[in-house]
Structure 1
Amino acid sequence: MDAPGTQGGLFDGGALQLADAQLTYLPDWLDGATADDWLHRLVEETPWQQPEVVLFGRQLPVPRLVAWYGDPEARYRYSGMTHQPLPWTPLLGEIRQRLVNTLGQPLNGALLNYYRDGQDSMGWHSDDERELGAEPLVASLSLGGVRRFDLRRKGTTRIEHSLQLEHGSLLVMSGQTQHHWQHQVAKTRKPCAPRLNLTFRLIRTPL
């Protein structure tokens, strides 16, 4: 069953009609052949890590594999850890340039999350770290298996909107979105192919 507010009727020309938010969803940003190629190469080339976080007094591995790339000054702190950027690879540099051309905005860092199966997930959060500035810009490219992306208002528990993030799709979050909304990629028991998510960001205030 779909969660409340799935994408049917929510979008007008790619823009999500959501109060106190600026979101744009482009389901076919990449052609299928390019999306397939980038997925295969990135999964193989990336030096994946699985850092641990302290949750309720226990040290647990995050339920996905991660890597942080960026310009030398683009250090990024989240989940209690400061991440030093890996240098851009030729492929990630190419992807970044395509996104910059699409958005007309600079981007200096990219967080890669690899969801190996339905039990890999991302809990509720907002990308509102200080170094992302007053109006964080996050461009989220999805490759591989389709996963559901949920949104809820801060301070509430009800899922208000959900999107099915397709292979080769681009979701752009900007403006006041991160100040008013949280998002997650929940675990699922449904069979799903591995998914790679690249979230390109603009670090405005380096650590």
Structure 2
Amino acid sequence: MHGSRGGTFLMTPPVKVIHNWLPAEMQRPLFDALECGPWHALKLRYGNIARRKNIVFYEGDPEAAYAYTKAATDKDRPILYTEGPAALRTIRKRLQEEYGFSFSLCYVNYYADEQVGIGWHNDAEEVGSQIPVRMLCLGGTRDFSIWKVSRDEKTKKLLKPFAEWEVKTRSGDLVEMPVGFHEENAYRHAILPQKQFAAPRASLTFRSPDLSANGPWAPETFVHIPRIWCCKSGHEYPEDAVYVGCRTIRGQVREGSPFGNAVDPFRVRNQTTNPWLADNDTDFRLAALTKMQDSGFRQQMEALRGRDLLCWCEQEGPKRAEFCHARVWLDLINENHSWTGE
């Protein structure tokens, strides 16, 4: 367990590890039960590792649980705790007794070998939560890497993450992530691929969202906030997100959208024969307002209200695009109804 920042040795990581929290005799049966269970393959939003798998268990209202997991974008329909391994329910009960929280939901991520991992991220669905998260490790030993968020003083952009702390996590260890760990300007964490051999690993992350039928994640009360997703290879995004780019034929073939940033968005963009409409927010907004004078186009905009959008720009991390035409559309589509005449 170690780390450094600018040559200064960092002694205390922001998480606590309780070694051998789960007795050895309970580890293998649970790991085997999970390994043989149903898994969802992830397209992976963070990095280029394509073989990570997951499954989610919950107790509460099914639609509230789905709304919560969908906020993370890489999770499928959750499964009731009662349909999971009995050993999992035993562990949940022990956590409830020791910490006093509901632990209404459990993510299980499976890493087949040392080449499978997850890149730098924070858990967006935990932002603002006042309840800590607990992670139980089973199987192979891996480093839980942590980076303290820092930004460029002038541009305020995120700097490139690196492992300031590498917390060694072994089978049976319990990692305590404190309140605030997942906030936007707090930390990022990762399980990075490594050269040295690692046996298959499962990490069980226990969380305590209010999944009651009348809680904040219930369909009647939960308000989805639309956002932009990057559709480049290796990125995860909701299946119902709408592509708003130009026609492309390389790599991922996508038909053009009337919202694409090109003179003719239904043709492959070319700087000479089919250039950008604009290369900055101000100019693109002016071009968008011009297109919005057409009533038929405004109807197409109305159909996208509340929808997530897809484009090719990086949306997170140090490579986040400074200008993204889709962000302009997101603002215009979801602002007040003045442009629809209502």
For 1:133-144, what aligned pairs fall within 5 Å after superposition?
Answer: 133-144=128-139
5 Å-filtered alignment, 1:31-70, equals 31-44=23-36, 46-53=37-44, 62-70=50-58
Rg comparison, structure with higher value: 2
Measure how far apart 1:55 and its partner are: 7.8
How far apart in 1 are the matches of 2:44 and 2:139?
26
Number of the residue aligned with 2:181: 177
Is the counterpart of residue 125 in structure 1 residue 125 in structure 2?
A: no
Counterpart secondary structure, 1:114: strand
Normalised by the size of structure 1, how large is the TM-score?
0.80
Q: Deviations over 1:97-123 (max 9, x none)?
A: 111122222210011111100111011
Residue matched to 2:319:
none
Q: Which residue number corresponds to residue 105 of structure 2?
A: 109
2-side partners of 1:37 and 1:54: how far apart?
31
Does the CA-based 8 Å contact 2:49-2:117 persist in structure 1? Answer: no
Q: 1:118 to 1:134 in 2, by over 3 A?
A: same
Equivalents in 2 of 1:54, 1:100: separation in Å? Answer: 31
Is 1:166 the counterpart of 2:170 in the alignment? yes
Please list the CA deviations of residues 55-105 of structure 1 after superposition, one character each: whole Å capped at 9, or x if unmatched.
Answer: 89xxx8743111011014323124535643201123322121111122222
- Larger displacement relative to structure 2 (105-114 or 155-164): 155-164
Question: 2-side partners of 1:67 and 1:118: how far apart?
Answer: 20
Change (3 A) 1:81 1:146: closer
Note closer, same or farther for the CA distance 1:108–1:123 as it changes in structure 2 (3 Å cut).
Answer: same
Label 1:149 to 1:61 Cα distance change in 2 as closer, same or farther (>3 A). Answer: closer
Query: Is contact 1:29–1:170 with CA below 8 Å preserved after alignment?
Result: yes
Amino acid at match of 2:24: G
Bigger mean CA deviation after superposition, 191-200 or 81-90: 81-90
Match in the other structure for 1:14: none
Higher strand share: 1
Quote how far apart the aligned CAs of 1:28 are: 1.4
**Counterpart of 1:102 in 2: which secondary structure?**
helix
SS in 1 for 2:91: helix
Q: Distance in 2 between matches of 1:165 and 1:30?
A: 13
For residues 151 and 203 of structure 1, what CA distance do their matches in structure 2 show?
24
* Match for residue 198 of structure 2 among 181, 192, 203: 192
Query: Does the 8 A contact of 1:49 with 1:66 survive in 2?
Result: yes
User: Structure 1 residues 85 and 153, CA, compared in 2 at 3 Å: closer, same or farther?
Assistant: same
For the residues of structure 2 that align with 1:134 and 1:150, how far apart are their CA atoms?
A: 22
The one-letter code sitting in structure 1 at the alignment partner of 2:80 is P
Q: Secondary structure at the match of 2:182?
A: helix
Q: Report what 2:16 is aligned to.
A: 24
The code of the aligned residue for 2:139 comes to G
CA distance in 2, matches of 1:185, 1:53: 13
CA contact under 8 A between 1:150 and 1:161: conserved in structure 2?
A: yes
Residues 72 and 43 of structure 1: is their aligned pair in 2 closer, same or farther, counting only changes over 3 Å?
same
Change (3 A) 1:78 1:101: same
Higher RCO (CA 8 Å, separation ≥ 6 residues): 1
Aligned residues: 190
Deviation at 1:39, TM superposition (A): 1.4
Q: Which residue of 2 aligns with 1:91?
A: 87
| Distance of 1:97 and 1:174 partners within structure 2 | 20
Counterpart code for 1:25: V
Q: Deviations over 1:159-181 (max 9, x none)?
A: 21111101100001121111101
- Would you say the 8 A contact 1:128–1:136 is kept in 2? no
DSSP 3-state at the match of 1:52: coil
Q: In the alignment, is the contact (CA less than 8 A) between 1:66 and 1:112 conserved in 2?
A: yes
Letter in 2 for 1:4: G
Regions of 4+ moved over 6 Å: none
Q: Which moved more, 1:47-56 or 1:165-174?
A: 47-56
